[in-house]
Amino acid sequence: MKIDYADFVKQGHTVHVQFQKEILNFYKNANVKQDSVTEFINKYVYVEYLNDRQVTMSELSELLNETDNTIRKKIKYLIKAGLIQKIRLANDARVYILKPTKVLIRMYEIQASRMLKTLIETSPVLKTFFGSWSKGFYAAYKTTGIPSYFNKYNKEHYDLIAKQMSDGKMEYLETNTRKKLG
pLDDT at 46: 95
Same domain? For 111 and 166 the reply is yes
Dihedral pair phi/psi, residue 104, rounded to 5°: -65, -45
pLDDT at 53: 95
Does 73 map to a domain? yes
pTM over 0.85: no
CA distance 166 to 106: 15
Same domain? For 15 and 47 the reply is no
Does 181 map to a domain? no
- How many Å separate Cα 159 from the centre of its chain? 17
Does 92 map to a domain? yes
pLDDT per residue rounded down to tens, the chain (182 residues): 666 777 778 877 888 888 888 778 777 766 667 788 888 999 999 999 999 999 998 899 999 998 889 899 999 988 888 889 999 988 887 888 999 998 889 888 888 888 888 888 887 877 888 888 888 888 888 888 888 877 766 666 666 666 666 665 555 444 343 444 33
Burial class of residue 14 in the structure, from the number of CB atoms within 10 Å of its CB (0-12 exposed, 13-18 middle, 19+ buried): middle
pLDDT at 87: 92
pLDDT at 176: 40
Does 179 map to a domain? no
pLDDT at 112: 87
Closest by CA position to 55, among listed 102, 99, 101: 99
pLDDT at 99: 95
Q: With contact defined as beta carbons under 8 Å apart, do 170 and 164 qualify? A: yes
Same domain? For 21 and 48 the reply is no
Q: Which H or E run contains 78?
A: helix 68-80
Of 47, 68, 100, which residue constitutes the final position of a domain? 100
Same domain? For 27 and 108 the reply is yes
Of 51, 77, 100, which residue constitutes the final position of a domain? 100
CA distance 29 to 106: 19
Same domain? For 115 and 160 the reply is yes
Q: Count of domains in the chain?
A: 2
Same domain? For 27 and 49 the reply is no
Same domain? For 112 and 164 the reply is yes
Same domain? For 139 and 109 the reply is yes
pLDDT at 179: 41
pLDDT at 174: 45
Q: What are 21's strand-pairing partners?
A: none
Of 52, 85, 100, which residue constitutes the final position of a domain? 100
pLDDT at 157: 66
Burial 53-70 (b: 16+ CB within 10 A, else e): eebebebbbeeeeeeeee
Same domain? For 24 and 40 the reply is no
From residue 37, alpha-carbon distances to 71, 78, 112, 177 in Å are 9, 11, 20, 30
Same domain? For 56 and 139 the reply is no
Containing structural domain, residue 147: 5-31+104-173
